[in-house]
Amino acid sequence: MSYRFPSEYSHLWAIEPGAIYLNHGSFGACTKYILEKQNEYRQMLEGQPMRFMVRQLEGMLNTAREKTAAFVNADCSDLVFVPNATAGVNTVFRSLRFEPGDEILFTNHIYFACRQLLEYIAETTGAVLVEAHYDIPISSPGVITEAVLSAVSNKTKIALIDHITSATALIQPVEEIVRELEKRGVDTLVDGAHAPGSIPLDINSLGAAYYTANCHKWLCTPKSAAILHVRKDKQKHIVPLVVSHAGYNAEPFAERFFWPGTFDPSPILCVPDSIAYMASLMPGGWDAIMKRNHDVSIEARNFFCRELGLTPSCPDDMNAGMSTLELPLMGNINPPAYKEADDIQNQMYNKYNLELPLWYWSDSPRRTTRISVQLYNSPEQFRYAAGILKEYYLPG
């Protein structure tokens, strides 16, 4: 089967050649090289499990932490691996103690799974959820900062702020938000699920109390590899979701997270391999990759806007490799369950082997699409997708 509208990098990924896959942001996608590396690690594990798990694994994981920490400019001693960013957010919030009336601040652009977690925390502790609201399209990052800071009170204990929002694909001004919240005595947990590999990341300079991020998205590692960074002054009370042999208060901090029970460590071990391999694909390494994906995303967004009569959701520099656009009327407004996909998205997949996400966002649901660009995507794929999507527009 031949590739459809391929980029020069398409053959390096395991994406089915006949598919036009425009949803990298949801689950990421692995290169063939990294899948081979993962298989090597698994063969090491299964070839002699005792040797691998007891004699080799700790050193290999420490090396992976060191190289990953260097990529995001974090102290290795403050960084641990978790299965995904949702697990990182859960780890922090289920470790903290909340008193009735303590306020937890977030925005209406929060990732829905994390909103569900906050609902649980509020119900079980008496904490109060406070939502800072702003809409798209948005004119500048300052709108976000103002919305967040205007919702702070003397009862605000912690804020959960996305670095790049999932549904709306906005780069939020977390540096300014973290700094201003710190002045007000409020800790911040930054959900950086989409950050590593899509924007330059400097965790030490950011200074947030907590930072979690996925490696399986824009770093293109296998699934089940993510990081949690906890500032040194906040580590004492942070407990892994799975308390195992090391105990809940082991020192150093990373020791608590080393052994969650028998598990497959191959996704984590692949993180530095993927960082290095991806960097080798373009002259200029990661800076060039991030610029290329951003530029193609903006080009595709602008094409969608011209061809389909849409409006950009934000200035160019507030998008990375993703852009979200609100769509006109296209049939019933009927948000599917989280396990399902939009009916029109399914139709495009079944008829054209085109995976273009169609979502609903905001309190009064509005259908959107999110453009998502990785090296295996070409501008021609998005031009094709825009033409297909237009077939589903209703007249008038």
pLDDT tens digits, 313-342: 999 999 999 999 999 877 777 788 888 999
Residue 224 in domain? yes
Are the CB atoms for 12 and 361 separated by under 8 Å? no
361 falls within a domain: yes
Same domain, 205 and 108: yes
Rounded (5°) CA angle 134-137-142: 55
DSSP 152-192: --TTEEEEEEESB-TTT--B--HHHHHHHHHHTT-EEEEE-
Q: Do the domain assignments include residue 32?
A: no
Average pLDDT over residues 18-47: 98
- Do 153 and 195 lie in one domain? The reply is yes
Residues 152, 232, single domain; the answer is yes
- Shared-domain flag, residues 262 and 378: no
H or E, element range at 213? strand 210-214
Q: Which helix (H) or strand (E) holds 360?
A: strand 358-361
User: Distance (Å, rounded) from C-alpha 327 to C-alpha 305?
Assistant: 10
| 8 Å CB contact between 164 and 320 | yes
Which pLDDT band, with edges at 50, 70 and 90, does 395 fall under? low
From the list 186, 168, 26, the residue with the least C-alpha distance to 103 is 186
**What is the pLDDT of the chain when averaged over all its residues?**
96
3-state SS assignment for residue 20: strand
CA distance linking residue 391 with residue 369, whole number of Å? 15
- Quick one: 191 and 99 in the same domain? yes
Backbone angles phi, psi at 107, to 5 degrees: -110, 165
CA 198 to chain centroid: 10
Phi/psi at 292 (5° precision) = -60, -50
Bridge partners for 212 per DSSP: 191, 228
Q: 256 and 111, same structural domain?
A: yes
Three-state DSSP at 353 gives coil
Checking if the pLDDT of 295 tops 90, the result is: yes
Assess whether pLDDT exceeds 70 at residue 349: yes
- pLDDT at residue 44 greater than cutoff 90: yes
- Which percentage of the chain shows pLDDT scores above 70? 99
pLDDT at 394 over 80: no
Do 159 and 258 sit in the same domain of this protein?
yes
Taking the C-alpha atoms of residue 182 and residue 185, their distance in angstroms, rounded to an integer, is: 5
4 assigned to some structural domain: no
Chosen domain end from 275, 310, 330: 275
- Residues 242 and 300 placed together within one structural domain of the fold: no
Domain identity same for 157 and 175: yes
Residue with tokens 């102290």: 75
Cα distance between residue 375 and residue 293, in whole Å: 7
DSSP assigned state of 151: T
Q: What is the mean pLDDT of residues 199-219?
A: 98
Of the two residues 275 and 359, the one the predictor is more confident about is 275
The answer on 53 and 136 residing in a single domain is: yes
For 210-267, how does the pLDDT look when each residue is reduced to its tens digit (9 = 90+)? 999 999 999 999 999 999 999 999 999 999 999 999 999 999 999 999 999 999 999 9
Question: Which of 234, 257, 275 is the last residue in one of the domains?
Answer: 275
Structurally, the chain folds into a number of domains equal to 2
Quickly tell me which residue has 């409006």 as its tokens. Answer: 311
Closest Cα to residue 171, out of 297, 263, 19?
297
Which of 245, 275, 305 is the last residue in one of the domains? 275
The tally of CA atoms less than 13 A away on the side-chain side of residue 259 is: 12
Provide the CA 225 distance to its chain's centre, in angstroms. Answer: 12
The mean pLDDT value for 359-370 works out to 87
Question: Is the CB of residue 319 less than 8 Å from the CB of residue 370?
Answer: no
Q: How far from the centroid of its chain's Cα atoms is residue 369's Cα?
A: 17
Q: Are strands 226-230 and 79-82 parallel, antiparallel or unpaired?
A: antiparallel
pLDDT of residue 275: 98
Angle value at C-alpha 162, between 161 and 168, nearest 5 degrees: 130
CA 376 to CA 322: how far, in whole Å? Answer: 14
Whether the pLDDT of residue 1 is over 80: the answer is no
| CA–CA dist 72, 192 (Å, integer) | 11
Q: Which domain holds residue 319?
A: 10-22+285-390
219-228, 357-366, 379-388: segment of lowest average pLDDT? 357-366
CB 311, CB 323: distance < 8 Å: no
> Are residues 255 and 359 both part of a single domain?
no
**Do residues 25 and 196 touch, judged by C-beta distance below 8 A?**
no
pLDDT value at position 332? Answer: 74
What pLDDT, on the 0 to 100 scale, is given for residue 214? 98
H runs (alpha helix) in the chain: 24-27, 32-47, 49-50, 57-71, 85-93, 112-125, 141-150, 174-183, 203-206, 255-258, 266-279, 285-308, 343-352, 379-390
DSSP string, 226-254: EEEEE-GGG-TT---SS--TT-TT-SSTT
The three-class DSSP label of residue 195 is: coil
Q: What CATH number corresponds to the domain at position 234? A: 3.40.640.10
Q: In what order do the strands lie in the sheet with 358-361?
A: 322-326, 366-372, 358-361
